[in-house]
Structure 1
Amino acid sequence: MKKRVSSAKRSTGVTRPGPEPGYHHGELQEALIAASEAILAEQGAEGFTLREAARRAGVSPAAPSHHFGNAQGLLTEVAIRGYDALAGALREAASGKPGAREKLHAQGLAYVDFALRHPGRFQMMFANKRLVADDARLRQASRAAGHAFEIVVAELVGGTPKGAKTAAAAAWSTVHGFAKLALEEKFGSVKNEAGRREVMMTLNQVLNYLWPASGPRPQA
């Protein structure tokens, strides 16, 4: 007597991968993102591999591709969350400050502090070749972070929207350049809390020169 083949096996013809044991769909995504951020924090962008992210999440090497397509897809999700967190930090820094100069000063400090506390994530956010550069969510998240500067700069300089965008680009370029130099330890070590405090004191002096919160600009 022939064994009867189930309708499920006849209809598919192939065995499809099921969810990883112990994980629901959303939980696995979160585990892979958390593992990726841990790798970036410890080893930087250069040390990231999809296989290592899977290993740390406790899943098969093929699991990340089921959810993110490839390494670029996973890192793009990490970058999106990084931009969201940065935009939130900039908005929080400006909230409650009495004037535009104080807001911009606080945002400059918050921007560099974010970079120093999340160096791997920060570097990945701007590593376009490692990301899906035309991802709509990524572009939106990046614009939201820039817009946090634009709102404050527009309040500070007034004038036309185009002029405010130019001034915001100058402000962003200033603090981003400082952050990059700080991560390269051009202002001293940032490997411990004491070193980061010293660098932030240097930044505070720079911001006091460029955008003094009150009173005249300090003499160089």
Structure 2
Amino acid sequence: MGETGAARQSHGYHHGDLKPVLIAAARRLVEADGHDRLSLREVARQAGVSAMAPYRHVENREALLAELAAQGFRELGAALKAAADQGVDPRSRSLAQAQAYVGFARANPGLFRLMVGPLDPAQKQLIAADAEAAHAMGATPDIDPDLARARWALVHGLSMLIIDGRLAIAPGDTVPAIVARTVAALWPEGGVGQSGAGQSA
């Protein structure tokens, strides 16, 4: 049987390990209700601690959201780097990264919307994590920078259309297949491998 909030408060959290619990609770709430409605009071309730406990670990609501967004950027950057390692040439790496980017957005729509919102320059860890993810998306040295930028813009826009429910998907079609065709359109030869076309949505 799981511990009650009071029991969890009585041991463990006072040793300083509450922040990851708060971030995890915030992530669940952001996915359920969006980041605009997040409150530290509700985060504390979800974490099973007092309403004032979060303030010993984060300055305010905005600081907690910045921590969560930075976590998301680190996860996205790692996924993009892993995807790039799967490719054997620029086209296959481009497709693998596009699938990873869209896949991350689909799996974490609330977090993704938070990440792509305005960045507070005062949150240095957030800016650094964002830059790392951006570098991972464009870190294929054998792709022209303008093409890499166009790829990022296109894949990002496609991700937003998908998670906002604005992209019509025909019967028998799948999101990975749409991503593969979209990335292929960036190459004059249309030569991106169709490895994503057979995947299920």
TM over 0.5: yes
* Matching residue of 1:156: 143
Identity %: 34
From 100, 103, 124, give the equivalent of 1:136.
Answer: 124
TM-superposed CA distance for 1:214, in Å, is 5.1
Looking at structure 2, the residues matched to 127 and 93 of structure 1 have their Cα atoms a distance apart, in angstroms, of 24
Structure 1 runs (4+) deviating above 3 angstroms are none
SS at match of 2:185: helix
Looking at structure 2, the residues matched to 133 and 123 of structure 1 have their Cα atoms a distance apart, in angstroms, of 18
Looking at structure 1, the residues matched to 105 and 93 of structure 2 have their Cα atoms a distance apart, in angstroms, of 19
* Matching residue of 2:73: 83
Query: Taking structure 1 as the reference length, what is the TM-score of the superposition?
Result: 0.75
Compare CA radii of gyration and give the structure with the larger one.
1
From 163, 172, 190, give the equivalent of 1:183.
Answer: 163
Quote the RMSD (CA, aligned, Å).
Answer: 2.4
Q: Does 1:106 align with 2:96?
A: yes
* Matching residue of 1:117: 107
TM-superposed CA distance for 1:172, in Å, is 1.4
Unaligned runs of at least 5 residues, structure 2: 1-8, 195-201
Matches within 5 A, 1:1-220: 20-22=9-11, 23-128=13-118, 132-152=120-140, 154-157=141-144, 164=145, 166-188=146-168, 198-211=174-187, 212-213=191-192
Unaligned runs of at least 5 residues, structure 1: 1-19, 158-163, 216-220
Query: Taking structure 2 as the reference length, what is the TM-score of the superposition?
Result: 0.81
Q: Residue 96 and residue 106 in structure 1: after superposition, are their counterparts in 2 closer, same or farther (change >3 A)? A: closer
Q: Number of residues paired by the alignment?
A: 182
Looking at structure 2, the residues matched to 151 and 108 of structure 1 have their Cα atoms a distance apart, in angstroms, of 13
Looking at structure 1, the residues matched to 100 and 165 of structure 2 have their Cα atoms a distance apart, in angstroms, of 18
